[in-house]
Chains A and B, each alone.
Chain A
Amino acid sequence: MKKITWFVVVVLIAAFMAGCGGSAAKGKNLKAGFVYVGPVGDAGWTKSHDDGRLAMEELDFVDESTYVENVPEGAEATRVITELAESGCDMIFTTSFGYMDPTLEVAEKYPNVKFLHATGYKTAENATNYMGRMYESKYLAGIVAGNMSKSGKLGYVAPFPIPEVVRLINAFTLGAQSVNPDISVQVLWTNSWFDPVHEKEAANTMIADGCDIITQGTDSAGPQEAAEAAGIYSIGYDSDMSMFAPKAHLTAPVWHWGIYYKDVATKIHNGTWTNDPIWWGIETGITGLSPYNEVVPQKVRDDVAKAKAAIIENDNIFTGPLYDNQGNLRVEEGVALTDGEKLSIQWFVKGVNGKIPKASQE
């Protein structure tokens, strides 16, 4: 009996030590924490951030990075962000809009930690927000869709009616209409960032309704799979989704967060970081199109390249005359939306079939 007890003790100690062995410090000096709204396996938004995290980890002075996935946007997030700060992170990235207030709340308590919030607008001494001008890549994807559609009806599976999403739907629509002015874009809301089943159903509804290209603002590959099964084309989002729809997937406007994450880590490391919010354009490479499907003709690729050069030259996507989908002139000829107007946009351009629910205080 005694022998057995000893054996158990030895096994426990060995197991304990085996567990400790893995986390030996490499002698480098920054630790990063990430808060994700979906699972890293979402193949979309969260995966694009996780790819960025891994790219950042390659930097010599980034000791370690860790993440928490599926974090609800609310009081739960406050706890998770606090735990990351407590675990010794020097910089914490919170990657969804709903983390804005929790991020600022925790930032106040940990002045030595840098907090970086994606998609928001608030800042503090040690906190800022970051985003890329995804609407530029969405516009380019719209050009591809406009060229490849026969019915002229495109379907867009959309998460929330917030300005960010509305802006991207508008940009995609304008891109498609630059090829064919009669194109219409059907919008269906899922009211969730990540809901593969719901997203797929929304796509199927629009396919049945005659949409012959499906795209999305949501985070899962559900809509892509629906397009593949229906034998039509699709445009992915966030990350290259071609593996889920090898025939359907034409291209995807994607994020390359690693470019920003490496930059910000370097600046924090050498002490040049400031809390200026950033909204990087396509010229930095933070957004772009994923590799084309072989069915996309060379002419279309050339059109996209030309449009991209024009955007880099002069960000001209939201330039008047622009009408909303009720027929009102919203932007006069020769006038362009300011960044402030882009960030708060709450109307659809002409050709979008969709409604933005109204708040009662408006």
Chain B
Amino acid sequence: MFKIKLEQKERVSKREELIITLSAIGIAFVLAGIFIALNGVNPFLALWKVVTSSLGSSYGISETIVKAIPLIFTGLAVGIALNSKLWNIGAEGQLFFGATFATAFVIYGPVLSKPLELTVLIILGAVGGALWALIPALLKIKFKMNEVISTLLLNYVAINIADYFLFGPWKGKDNFPYTPEFPPEAKFSRIGFGRVHAGLILALVLVVLLYIIIYHTKLGYKLRITGSSLRAAKYAGININKIMFLVFLLSGALAGLAGVSQVCGIEYKLHQHISTGYGYSGIIVAWLARTNPYIIVIFAVFLSILLKGADSLQIAMHLPAAVGVVMQALILFAILGSELFKTYNVKLIRRK
């Protein structure tokens, strides 16, 4: 008989951490490969198809970037909170609330000159997302309510609020749940590469900014200390509640920007499908990237390739749409499982 023994690790080197993460992705791919093979398709060919459809043509690359943009925003949103060991599962709802906020201005506000209009929309989107994150922040700080549950459940509320407007006051002339198309002043410009829009620039600027904040400012230091040990943070005289509050607002604002980027950058209207679960996929992106903003960009592109590739697999190989969802789930599963190996040495011991 064997038994499994866990020994706490002293510390994990960056290299070890990277190896564990990559092996987890590898395991997820092997499992997904088995799933694909069970559907009667050669998994190597499927992988090849996923890669070529996303990176094999300039059209494919541009569409990969288009889908990566919201994932960068939500990845940053979840990532900044994870730095302080706060779980924001509510990026999806904050995305919708931010988009609803910005759309309200497009519908009720005056049409301003393009630079001014877009500035207002970006600010409103960030404020909307932050406001929606304010609720779980206050619940956590005042009543110690677990933020995983409050942020998750508030997603459904935010989506229903958007639905209320879509099915009622804002519905378009077809009586279908979408708003009229935004005026040209409220649309992000395209940057001359397929449908890639200025949301990418905003996202990349934020990536750099957040990197500097997290790793090169006092605030970032406090934020990381809070994440690594609440006790240490208290000893250091850090006002933990204030930090948590700030982190929540920042996280919500980033997710709200994902919403603005979707409605102003690609959809040009508010409707029910401005996000295909980007708020949830952002969790995977942030977790894979270990919250480092630069690496978040890499994994946003990685996930975009997988999600987009799932559609190509349907077209070319007649695989069901569930393949994409299964892939995402397997990666998350493997990554979460691999955490064990980062904190513990796992040993098999022979029983006498």
Count residues of chain A with CB under 8 A from any CB of chain B. 43
- B177–A33 contact, CB under 8 A? no
Chief secondary structure at chain A's binding surface: mixed
* With A66-B314, A191-B163: A16-B171 Cβ-Cβ less than 8 Å: no
Contacts of A76 on B, CB cut-off 8 Å?
Answer: 273, 276
- Residues of chain A within 8 A (CB-CB) of B315 are 33, 66, 68, 83-84, 87
B174 within 8 A of A: yes
Cβ-based interface call for B135 (8 A): no
Is B311 engaged at the interface, CB distance under 8 Å to the other chain?
A: yes
Q: Mark B176-209, 1 if CB is under 8 A from A, else 0.
A: 1110000000000000000100000000000000
Decide if A191 touches B167 in the complex (CB within 8 Å): yes
Q: How far is the CB of B226 from chain A (nearest CB, A)?
A: 37
Residues of B within 8 A of A66 (CB): 314-316, 318
Contact sample, A vs B, 27 pairs, CB 8 Å cutoff: A12-B44, A19-B44, A39-B321, A40-B320, A66-B318, A68-B311, A68-B315, A69-B314, A73-B271, A73-B273, A74-B271, A76-B273, A79-B308, A80-B311, A83-B312, A83-B315, A86-B59, A87-B316, A97-B174, A160-B176, A161-B175, A191-B177, A191-B272, A192-B272, A358-B169, A359-B171, A359-B172
A234 nearest CB across to chain B (Å): 26
**How does the 8 Å CB contact mask read for B304-342 relative to A, with 1 for contact and 0 for none?**
000010011011101011100000000000000000000
Chain A residues, CB < 8 A from B312: 83
Chain B interface residues toward A at CB < 8 A:
41-42, 44-45, 53, 59, 63, 66, 163, 167-178, 195, 266-267, 271-274, 276, 308, 311-312, 314-316, 318, 320-322
CB pair A15 B314 closer than 8 Å: no
Q: Is the CB of A359 within 8 A of B271?
A: no
B314 close to A67 (CB less than 8 A): yes
Which residues of chain B are within 8 angstroms of A189 by Cβ–Cβ distance? 167
- Tell me the smallest distance from the CB of A261 to a CB of chain B, in Å: 18
Separation of A74 and B176 alpha carbons in the complex (Å): 12
Q: Is A5 an interface residue (CB 8 A)?
A: no
Residues of A within 8 A of B169 (CB): 358-360
**A66 vs B45: C-alpha distance when bound (angstroms):** 18
**Residues in chain A near residue B272, CB distance under 8 A:** 73, 191-192
Flag A342-362 by CB within 8 Å of B: 1 or 0 each: 000010000000000111110
Contacts of B177 in A (CB 8 A): 160, 191
Q: Mark A72-100, 1 if CB is under 8 A from B, else 0.
A: 11111011101110110000000001100
Q: How far is the CA of A357 from the CA of B170 in the complex (A)?
A: 10
Q: Are A83 and B53 in contact (CB under 8 A)?
A: yes
Question: How far is B271's CA from A162's CA once the two chains are assembled, in angstroms?
Answer: 15
A161 touching B311, Cβ below 8 Å:
no
Taking CB atoms, residues of chain B closer than 8 Å to A82 are 59
Whether A79 touches B63, Cβ cut-off 8 Å, given contacts A15-B42, A33-B315, A359-B168, is yes
Give the CA-CA distance A20 to B311 in the complex, in Å.
19
Cβ–Cβ contact B273 & A72, under 8 A: yes
Q: Which residues of A contact B176 (CB under 8 A)?
A: 97-98, 160, 162
Return the chain A residue nearest B307 by Cβ: A76
List the 7 closest A-B pairs by CB distance, nearest first: A19-B42, A72-B273, A19-B45, A360-B169, A70-B321, A357-B168, A74-B273
Q: Is A18 an interface residue (CB 8 A)?
A: yes
In the docked arrangement, what's the CA distance between A361 and B41, Å?
A: 51
Complex contacts, B173 vs chain A, CB 8 Å: 361
Determine the distance from Cα of A70 to Cα of B314 in the docked complex, in whole angstroms: 11
Task: Specify the chain A residue showing the minimal Cβ separation from B308.
Answer: A79
Contacting residues, chain B, for A191 (C-beta < 8 A): 163, 167, 177, 272
Taking the complex as formed, is A320 at the interface, i.e. its CB lies under 8 A from any CB of chain B?
Answer: no
Q: Indicate with 1 or 0, residue by residue over A225-241, a CB within 8 angstroms of chain B CB atoms.
A: 00000000000000000
Instruction: Please measure, in the bound complex, the distance between the C-alpha atom of A18 and the C-alpha atom of B41, giving whole angstroms.
Output: 9
Given A84-B315, A357-B168, A162 and B174 touching (CB < 8 A)?
A: yes
**Chain A contacts with B in 172-200, Cβ cutoff 8 A:** 189, 191-192
Asked if A163 lies at the interface with its beta carbon under 8 angstroms from chain B, I say yes
Cβ-defined contact, A18 with B167, below 8 A: no
Q: How distant is the Cα of A195 from the Cα of B41 in the complex, in angstroms? A: 29
